Chains A and B, each alone.
Chain A
Amino acid sequence: MSASVGLGDTAALALGAGILGTGGGGNTYIGRLKLDRQLRLSGAPCPVLNVAQLPDDALVVGVGMMGAPTVGIEKIEAGDEVARAVQALAAHLRRDFDALVINEIGGSNALEPLMCALQLGLPVLDGDGMGRAFPELQMDTFSIGGIPASPLALGDCHGNIAIFERLSSPLQAEEWARNLTIEMGGSAALVMSLMSGAEVKAHLVRGTLSLALKMGRAVLQAREDKVASPAQVIAALGNGRVLFEGKIVDVERRTVQGFARGRMSLQAFDTPDDCMEIVFQNENLVAWRDGDVQCCVPDLITIVTLEDGTPLGTELLRYGLRVAVIGMPAVRELKSPAALEVVGPAAFGYEDLSYTPLPGDLLPAAS
């Protein structure tokens, strides 16, 4: 990829990140506005580094926001929350960071690290810890690979910063950070997964920033050309396929333990008996067609508007929307037995559902 992200790239990046968000990850419209503004203030694009170029003894850390997307579109950030939390953690460690890591390439969490990197004069790595979005902190390749969740920093718009010096497990991190995030107003800057260059080389899902850009550009181009449907274009780029086209005929959402759990029903346009059911916990988890599983976590289930391929967050879903459902295979890093324990269907409560992966991987094997 080009070694930087500039103003001309943000439309595509926001679109691609929304696609990889599989329904979650945060509002990319706000995310894009913030990044655009920072790019104008900085007067230069955000440098992007291939992780192979990073020295083994470098120090990097993952960044993003945690909280509710409904809060994110209302209580917009002050703008320097993440940067301040990174600085606080650096001061605590008495060491500077060499680069920032995108924790989650889905939704606005793909854009936030770039804004922070511009503010701190650091590069971001081309990659992330998921190759998609997930609802909980322990659900990334860093935690799965044994990188401790602590030290972990959380910050709010007032400049309050908490550093968790020691957390016994990633699950403990999820619980404590979640509760403090509520205290901070439902949205907080998150800095976690402190890694050496060698460690991040071992655990980073490489090339996902490039993939988001590529997907976004392809959708923009497809809208222009009107030859192939945007959904087909997305599926092709993600090694997946369009699972279903139809309209949403029912959305049922309920709140369980602080998550948006729910299900939606879709109906095919021509044959109303042909139905798809999708369950979600913030992100889309499992899709059934006429009772048969078509796709499930950690594979990606992305819902886009039929005509222009705009990705839909789970909270934007509503009756009557005409959509395409795209299934894409997860990155291979999420398919090991250890990873599937954390991000497979059983981790989301579908114990009796065995994971039958979609063929292939989201990204081709590294050469």
Chain B
Amino acid sequence: MRIGIDVGGTNTDAVLMDGHNVLGSVKTPTTANVTDGITDALETLLRDSEMAVDSVDGVMIGTTHFTNAVVERRHLTRTACIRLGLPATACLPPMVDWPKDLSEAVGGMMFMAHGGHEFDGREISPFNAGEVRDIAAQIRDEGIDVVAISSVFSPVNARFEEDTAAIVRDAIPDAIITLSSSIGRIGLLERENAAIMNGCLRQLAHQTINGFRSALQEMEITAPFYISQNDGTLMAADFAAAYPVLTFASGPTNSMRGAAFLSGLRDAIVVDVGGTTTDIGVLRHGFPRVAALAVEIGGVRTNFRMPDTISIGLGGGSLIQRKPLQVGPRSVGFELTSRAQVFGGDELTATDVIVAAGHEDIGDADRVSGLDPDLVARVEDRVEDMVNVAVDRMKTSAAEVPVIVVGGGSILVRRKIVGASEMVRPDHFPVANAIGAAIAQVGGECDQIFSLAEMTRDEALAKARAEATSRATAAGADAASVEIVEVEEVPLAYLPGNATRIMVKAVGDLQEGE
């Protein structure tokens, strides 16, 4: 049996699943220290489903914690960056394209040194250990112990990044180091950005993952636990503690995968209504449609595979402004149960209007019985408009498609969406996120440039597939289930020599039990 947990900004949801059956689900408020919220959720879940803890084979946790830290510029640790590549790259130093407030929050100590490789593996400049030692000493003297290291074409040859890490460790024995080659693909700035963001999240990740761990220990759950990644696959908890940046965008991915699972639909639009925002994405063959180009997180460009979603400021906690009429984007968020009128508060929220319209029985309906029916009707119209416009933006054709509505706030979406062939609100819709986490898969990637002068294309492809497969199994995939889901070749345009970049992603089901 598996437990899926979604630790959101507002709620912590948990589900218990046996194969494809949902045995129980629970929604509890997220707590400041995350541990208590998870413990509460797990206690309720196991009690209600009358299951013994030792029947749990694995716990999958999805969280928006790290994305939110970057977006809100909170809980970030000062991080230094060393880039190897001089004299190349000098005109665009590390963090050149970051918003100023974020680079300040991260500390902005950055260095460029000689080194780096050419596309074909030759050195741009020889590695200069003395130069790197000087930099490491400056970082140590500044009292910084988190370091991100990037090197030009490190996906082709990571040796200079590794040599630099060794020198930094000599100077700063407890240094927390992130190598860009261990995170990203070709594209120096995006890969380096990911390494720096990862660095500044490492401390928070350490605390948070430990929080998850102690919650599980408190519940005496000894099964391994995993964290979901941006593309819907899983990583082991220890790996996630080292690479928190890989959790970005896992929230929308989980809700879409969960929606696909619950509805049985493989091609549809998913509308996930939370407390503050509504995320809309598209399912294709059961997986979220991936964004075409680079995705910005908190204003920083990255090149991870992420779902193509749009987010609008509409949720159960959205504040209603009467004149001129406006729904959201401001929201009472996790304070819904104290500030909404049906819960005795003073704020008029979208949830109050739904209760006043008689659609839902939440809190104390008498508190909103005096609400102007005309206002209620207009708010309902406005919500309908907002959802219709957003869904239409994600559609690529006039043909009608099924729309799956999930999330705790989805009670707001009551009318048929324009262009929807059917509206599906599956069982367990409020916890689709946690279900998406529970059914996640594990993956492995290979992204390398091969010289086809030295081997045939088929040999190169086979090598890349084998590498991706072995990375997937190393990450915990059941070898028998591993499939190659993506193969991409990019010849180095304009060049003779047949240099070709091959990217392969392999995905498989998580190996169950021991």
Q: Do A and B bind each other?
A: yes
Q: Are B493 and A178 in contact (CB under 8 A)?
A: no
In residues 237-290 of chain A, which contact B (Cβ within 8 Å)?
A: 247, 253-255, 257-260, 269-270, 282
How many chain B residues have a CB neighbour from A under 8 Å? 51
Q: Are A255 and B500 in contact (CB under 8 A)?
A: yes
Q: Is A314 an interface residue (CB 8 A)?
A: yes
Q: Is A318 an interface residue (CB 8 A)?
A: yes
**Could you tell me the distance in whole angstroms from the C-beta of A271 to the nearest C-beta in chain B?**
10
Q: Are A259 and B493 in contact (CB under 8 A)?
A: yes
Q: Is B452 an interface residue (CB 8 A)?
A: yes
Q: Is A202 an interface residue (CB 8 A)?
A: no
A71 vs B452: C-alpha distance in the bound complex, in angstroms?
Answer: 17
Q: Which residue of A lies closest to B88 (CB)?
A: A157
A248 vs B397: C-alpha distance in the bound complex, in angstroms?
Answer: 14
Q: Are B494 and A259 in contact (CB under 8 A)?
A: yes
**Which of B90, B284, B488, B491 sits near A255, CB closer than 8 Å?**
B491
**Which of B91, B457, B491, B493 sits near A76, CB closer than 8 Å?**
B91
Q: Is B188 an interface residue (CB 8 A)?
A: yes
- How many pairs of residues, A versus B, come closer than 8 Å at their CB atoms? 159
Q: Which of A34, A181, A320 neighbours the largest number of chain B CB atoms within 10 Å of its CB?
A: A320
**Could you tell me the distance in whole angstroms from the C-beta of A75 to the nearest C-beta in chain B?**
5
A67 vs B119: C-alpha distance in the bound complex, in angstroms?
Answer: 11
A135 vs B498: C-alpha distance in the bound complex, in angstroms?
Answer: 16
Q: Are B495 and A37 in contact (CB under 8 A)?
A: no
Q: Is A78 an interface residue (CB 8 A)?
A: yes
Q: Which residues of A contact B130 (CB under 8 A)?
A: none
Q: Which residues of A contact B488 (CB under 8 A)?
A: 318
Q: Are A75 and B494 in contact (CB under 8 A)?
A: no
Q: Are B89 and A75 in contact (CB under 8 A)?
A: yes
Q: Which residues of B contact A322 (CB under 8 A)?
A: 292, 396
Known: A71-B492, A314-B493, A318-B488. A158 touches B89 (CB 8 A): no
In residues 313-346 of chain A, which contact B (Cβ within 8 Å)?
A: 314-316, 318, 320-322
A70 vs B491: C-alpha distance in the bound complex, in angstroms?
Answer: 9
Q: Is B78 an interface residue (CB 8 A)?
A: no
Known: A33-B96, A258-B497. A74 touches B119 (CB 8 A): yes
Q: Is A120 an interface residue (CB 8 A)?
A: no
Q: Which residue of A lies closest to B282 (CB)?
A: A322
Q: Which residue of B lies closest to A226 (CB)?
A: B393
Q: Is B143 an interface residue (CB 8 A)?
A: no
Q: How large is the interface on A (under 10, 10 to 19, 20 to 34, 35 or more residues)?
A: 35 or more
Q: Are B292 and A75 in contact (CB under 8 A)?
A: no
Q: Which residues of B contact A131 (CB under 8 A)?
A: none
Q: Which residues of A contact B90 (CB under 8 A)?
A: 78-79
Q: Is A56 an interface residue (CB 8 A)?
A: no
Q: Which residues of A contact B89 (CB under 8 A)?
A: 75-78
From A4-12, A209-217, A303-311, A357-365, give the one contacting chain B. A303-311
Q: Are B124 and A185 in contact (CB under 8 A)?
A: yes
A95 vs B8: C-alpha distance in the bound complex, in angstroms?
Answer: 66
Q: Is B243 an interface residue (CB 8 A)?
A: no
**Could you tell me the distance in whole angstroms from the C-beta of B214 to the nearest C-beta in chain A?**
41
Q: Are B396 and A306 in contact (CB under 8 A)?
A: yes
A255 vs B125: C-alpha distance in the bound complex, in angstroms?
Answer: 28
Q: Are A34 and B92 in contact (CB under 8 A)?
A: yes
In residues 23-39 of chain A, which contact B (Cβ within 8 Å)?
A: 24, 29-30, 33-34, 37-38
**Which of A67, A186, A312 sits near B292, CB closer than 8 Å?**
A312
A254 vs B499: C-alpha distance in the bound complex, in angstroms?
Answer: 10
**Could you tell me the distance in whole angstroms from the C-beta of A269 to the nearest C-beta in chain B?**
3
In residues 1-60 of chain A, which contact B (Cβ within 8 Å)?
A: 24, 29-30, 33-34, 37-38
Q: Which residues of A contact B202 (CB under 8 A)?
A: none
Q: Is B43 an interface residue (CB 8 A)?
A: no
Known: A78-B88, A315-B490. A255 touches B498 (CB 8 A): yes
A292 vs B124: C-alpha distance in the bound complex, in angstroms?
Answer: 47
Q: Which residues of A contact B399 (CB under 8 A)?
A: 269-270
In residues 112-163 of chain A, which contact B (Cβ within 8 Å)?
A: 135, 157-159
Q: Is A182 an interface residue (CB 8 A)?
A: yes
Q: Is A69 an interface residue (CB 8 A)?
A: yes
Q: Are B119 and A77 in contact (CB under 8 A)?
A: no
Q: Which residues of B contact A71 (CB under 8 A)?
A: 119, 492, 495
Known: A185-B118, A247-B396. A74 touches B493 (CB 8 A): no
A270 vs B88: C-alpha distance in the bound complex, in angstroms?
Answer: 48
Q: Is A347 an interface residue (CB 8 A)?
A: no
A38 vs B91: C-alpha distance in the bound complex, in angstroms?
Answer: 9
Known: A30-B189, A269-B396. A75 touches B124 (CB 8 A): yes
Q: Which residue of A lies closest to B155 (CB)?
A: A74
In residues 97-132 of chain B, which contact A (Cβ within 8 Å)?
A: 97, 116, 118-120, 122, 124-125
Q: Are A258 and B496 in contact (CB under 8 A)?
A: yes
Q: Which residue of A lies closest to B457 (CB)?
A: A254
**Could you tell me the distance in whole angstroms from the C-beta of A207 to the nearest C-beta in chain B?**
27
Known: A34-B91, A34-B92. A320 touches B501 (CB 8 A): no
Q: Which of B90, B396, B494, B501 neighbours the largest number of chain A CB atoms within 10 Å of its CB?
A: B494
Q: Is B293 an interface residue (CB 8 A)?
A: yes
Q: Which residues of B contact A80 (CB under 8 A)?
A: 91
Q: Is A179 an interface residue (CB 8 A)?
A: yes
Q: Is A68 an interface residue (CB 8 A)?
A: yes
In residues 2-58 of chain B, which contact A (Cβ within 8 Å)?
A: none
Q: Which residues of B contact A158 (CB under 8 A)?
A: 87, 125
Q: Which residues of A contact B120 (CB under 8 A)?
A: 186
**Could you tell me the distance in whole angstroms from the C-beta of A352 to the nearest C-beta in chain B?**
25
In residues 148-163 of chain B, which contact A (Cβ within 8 Å)?
A: 152-153
**Could you tell me the distance in whole angstroms from the C-beta of A184 to the nearest C-beta in chain B?**
9
A186 vs B492: C-alpha distance in the bound complex, in angstroms?
Answer: 9
Known: A78-B88, A307-B393. A178 touches B97 (CB 8 A): no
Q: Which residues of A contact B97 (CB under 8 A)?
A: 33
Q: Are A70 and B490 in contact (CB under 8 A)?
A: yes
Q: Which residues of A contact B87 (CB under 8 A)?
A: 78, 157-159
Q: Which residues of B contact A78 (CB under 8 A)?
A: 86-91
A76 vs B489: C-alpha distance in the bound complex, in angstroms?
Answer: 22
Q: Are B491 and A75 in contact (CB under 8 A)?
A: no
Q: Is B236 an interface residue (CB 8 A)?
A: no
A269 vs B301: C-alpha distance in the bound complex, in angstroms?
Answer: 30
In residues 71-87 of chain A, which contact B (Cβ within 8 Å)?
A: 71, 73-80
**Could you tell me the distance in whole angstroms from the C-beta of B399 to the nearest C-beta in chain A?**
6
A175 vs B396: C-alpha distance in the bound complex, in angstroms?
Answer: 44
Other 13 A-B pairs with CB < 8 A, given A30-B92, A186-B118: A33-B92, A38-B91, A66-B494, A74-B188, A80-B91, A135-B494, A157-B124, A257-B496, A259-B493, A270-B399, A307-B393, A310-B293, A322-B292
8 nearest A-B pairs in the assembled complex, by CB-CB distance: A79-B91, A258-B496, A269-B397, A255-B491, A260-B493, A157-B88, A68-B492, A76-B89
List 28 contacting pairs A-B, 8 Å CB cutoff, sorted by A.
A33-B97, A34-B92, A38-B91, A66-B494, A67-B495, A68-B494, A69-B493, A73-B189, A74-B186, A76-B88, A76-B91, A76-B188, A78-B89, A157-B87, A159-B87, A178-B496, A182-B495, A182-B496, A182-B497, A253-B490, A255-B491, A260-B492, A270-B398, A306-B396, A318-B292, A320-B284, A320-B289, A322-B292
